[in-house]
Amino acid sequence: MKTSYHDRLPDVPAPPAFPRDPQDGRGPRAEVVSYGDDRHGRGLRALAELTGESGAGVVESLRDIAPDFADWIIEFSYGDVLSRPGLDRRTRQLATVAALTALGNAQPQLRVHIEGALNVGCRAQEIVEVMLQTTVYAGFPAVINALGVAREVFARRGAD
């Protein structure tokens, strides 16, 4: 069996509409710049940069049934946790993909964060590599099911 070690999947370009971290040009590890003390504003900005429209769509769809919960996603998940500078954004999104793949029952969220990983500059192959290694930790079913979600997202994103 010959294992190929080269990227198979063509890059999926990130939509130009999403802001890029100026330090994040595939050079040394970039740190997210602190946006100040406003949890809500910081969260909205991180939500947009990390997940683009899909994340904002999820949050807004929750306002009818649980508006405080929608605010928790913006202010806690994104404002307090995911916008922290201790990890560059690409590593954050890849670690997110790893966790959601391992959980095995969070496919809607996996969809949002695969999009997010592409948005912040991860290559499609890097996203797949993270899923593949999760086979060791969570077994083949979790990864087969995650790859199915990835295929959908790449198809939707890659179309010109």
Q: 23 to 42, contacts with a second copy by CB under 8 A?
A: 26-29, 34, 37, 39-40
Cβ-based nearer residue to a second copy, 16 or 86: 86
**Chosen residue from 135, 156, 157, 158 binding a second copy by CB under 8 A:** 135
Is the CB of residue 38 less than 8 Å from the CB of residue 53? Answer: no
At residue 26's C-alpha, the angle toward residues 22 and 40, to 5°, is: 45
**Cβ-based nearer residue to a second copy, 48 or 98:** 98
In the region spanning residues 37 to 96, those forming contacts with a second copy, defined by CB under 8 A, are 37, 39-40, 58, 62, 64-69, 71-73, 75-77, 80-82, 84-87, 91-92, 94-96
Which residues fall within 8 angstroms of residue 9, CB to CB, at 6 or more apart? Answer: 123, 124, 125, 128, 154
Given 23, 126, 157, 158, the residue binding a second copy (CB under 8 A):
126
If one asks whether residue 99 binds a second copy (CB under 8 A), the answer comes out as: yes
d(CA 103, CA 72): 21
143 binds a second copy (CB under 8 A): yes
Residue 134 interacting with a second copy (CB under 8 A): yes
Token representation of residue 106: 């969070």
Please tell me the count of residues contacting a second copy according to CB under 8 A.
78
Q: Is 132 in the site for a second copy (CB under 8 A)?
A: yes
Cβ atoms within 10 A of the Cβ of 23, count? 14
Closer residue to a second copy, CB minimum distance, 16 or 149 = 149
104-138 burial, b at 16+ Cβ within 10 Å, e below that, comes to bebeebbbbbbbbbbbbbbbbebbbebbeebeeeb
Tell me how far, at minimum, the Cβ of 74 lies from a second copy, in Å: 9
